[in-house]
Amino acid sequence: MFLSVVSRPVYSHTISMSRLFAGTPFDIPPTCDRCEKLESECQCEPIEPAKEYADPSKQSARVRVDQRKHKRKVTVVAGLSPEKSDLADLLSKLKSACGAGGTIVEDQLELQGDHLQRVKDEMLKIGYRVR
């Protein structure tokens, strides 16, 4: 039977696994890609895993215009999670779409001036749900 053959040890005890790979790339002990030291000697900082942002279509933002001191208006984008959205990236897109300055304040995006419709349009274009 085929199965019974596979279940038996394929290599007899006269050939160890390390000998099997001798002279092949598999024989090289693992080294760090960055410092090229052996992994056991590597002192590199662990690489931070890339953040996994959620699909914009699964998030809904609230966009409103606030009036600040001296009748200064700001367009505020609220309701997005900084864990799920790349707020800095979104801010830079909105800034260029509106031609306005902006900043992130307590997980909300603030753009200078009244850009309610343009912000909504741009966010819808990216894929966000907007209220």
Question: Where along the sequence are the contacts to Zn ion (CB under 5 A)?
Answer: 32, 34-35, 42, 44
- Residue 33 or residue 89: which is nearer to Zn ion going by CB? 33
* Residue 47: CB minimum distance to Zn ion, A: 10
CB of 51 vs Zn ion, minimal distance in Å: 22
Q: Which residues contact 112 (CB under 8 A, 6 or more apart)?
A: 72, 73, 74, 100, 101, 102
Q: How far is the CB of 53 from Zn ion (least distance, A)?
A: 28
Tokens 């590199």 belong to residue: 44
Shortest Cβ contact with Zn ion: which residue?
32
Minimum CB distance to Zn ion smaller for 31 or for 112: 31
Toward Zn ion, which CB reaches closer, 35 or 105?
35
Q: Where are the alpha helices (DSSP H) in 81-127?
A: 87-98, 116-126
Distance CA 38, CA 35 (A): 9
Q: H or E segment at 18?
A: helix 17-20
